[in-house]
């Protein structure tokens, strides 16, 4: 083996090692990662962010959540920050296919508990100290217990709580719902053992907790739930690590209906109607990864 070949081989090995080291040193940009959490034991709030029980004449249950979608997420520096005047992290696509402007359900981001719903570079977030988070929730998918003929059954419910929703044909299990139109806040569809049902909660009945309603109100019919960090989220522009933000939602008896038979069981066949499917509070938190 001649000297030139050996020298060339050594140079090649050195170059490969140098390139490999360069690749190892490449660092990805730090990100904000947003995830949802569902808590049936979290305090149950009313529209003003105050603890609340179930209304007289009604009953409620804490559903078993499968997935959720949000239409809008915003960071607000303080309680006087008007809706839309903070830093908007996410705004879902909208459409006028159904006439009036509506959330386009066909393009909705849908995620389960603990999954990444949103991931954006921290460099895209305005520097500042943020005390509040506002989350406009639009879609929920969960399991509930239904009583029929003195027997309890488990059904899966799709709950549309956004301000207005354009829905094409959507499915729950093996049940298909051809809507192809706008549906106002409170539209729901239910699959119980292959049997499809659908309905509409009363206008304005969806609970949307906003503890800063007196200084920063939200529009009627929206589903912008507002929550406060225990410690402000501070963005400096010099972050070197990911920040994971968890949006913990209270599902404490969040599915509510008007009782005909006062037994605490949801009985659609008895004429018991859904009155409220709003989330019952938001507690945001974060940690540096």
Per-residue pLDDT of 195-230, as tens digits, reads 899 999 999 999 999 999 999 999 988 999 999 999
- The pTM for the full model equals 0.89
Q: Which of 143, 138, 136 is nearest to 66 (CA)?
A: 143
* pLDDT mean over 168-178: 95
Mean pLDDT of the chain: 92
Which pLDDT belongs to residue 104?
98
Length of the chain: 289
Instruction: Provide the pLDDT for residue 78.
Output: 98
Confidence of residue 159 (pLDDT cuts 50, 70, 90): very high
Cβ pair 216, 79 in contact under 8 A: yes
Q: How confident is the model at residue 10 (pLDDT cuts 50, 70, 90)?
A: very low
State residue 163's pLDDT score. 95
d(CA 37, CA 278): 15
pLDDT band at 60 (very low <50, low <70, confident <90, very high): very high
pLDDT of 188 > 60? The answer is: yes
């Amino acid at each position: 083996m001649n000297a030139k070949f050996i020298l060339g081989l050594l140079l090649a090995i050195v170059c490969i090692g140098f390139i490999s080291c360069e690749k190892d040193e490449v660092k990805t940009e730090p990100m904000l990662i947003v995830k949802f959490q569902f808590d049936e034991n979290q305090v149950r709030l009313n529209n003003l962010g105050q603890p609340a029980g179930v209304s007289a004449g009604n009953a409620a249950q804490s559903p078993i959540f499968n997935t959720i979608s949000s239409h809008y997420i915003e960071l607000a520096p303080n309680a006087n920050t008007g809706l839309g005047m903070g830093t908007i992290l996410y705004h879902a696509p909208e459409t006028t296919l159904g006439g009036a402007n509506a959330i386009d359900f066909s393009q909705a981001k849908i995620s389960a508990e603990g999954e990444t719903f949103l991931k954006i570079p921290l460099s895209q977030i305005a520097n500042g100290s943020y005390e509040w988070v506002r989350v406009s929730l639009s879609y929920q998918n969960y399991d509930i217990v239904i009583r029929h003929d003195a027997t309890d059954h488990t059904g899966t419910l799709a709950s549309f709580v956004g301000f207005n929703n354009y829905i094409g044909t959507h499915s729950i299990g093996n049940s298909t719902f051809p809507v192809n139109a706008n549906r106002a806040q409170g539209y729901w569809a239910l699959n119980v053992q292959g049997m499809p049902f659908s309905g509409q909660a009363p206008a304005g009945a969806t609970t949307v907790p906003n503890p800063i309603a007196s200084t920063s109100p939200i529009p009627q019919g929206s589903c912008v739930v507002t929550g406060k960090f225990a410690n402000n989220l501070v963005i400096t522009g010099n972050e070197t690590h990911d920040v994971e933000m968890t949006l913990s939602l209270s599902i404490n008896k969040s599915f509510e209906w008007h009782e005909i038979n006062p037994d605490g069981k949801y009985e659609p066949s008895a004429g018991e109607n859904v009155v409220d499917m709003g989330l019952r509070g938001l507690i945001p938190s974060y940690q540096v990864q």
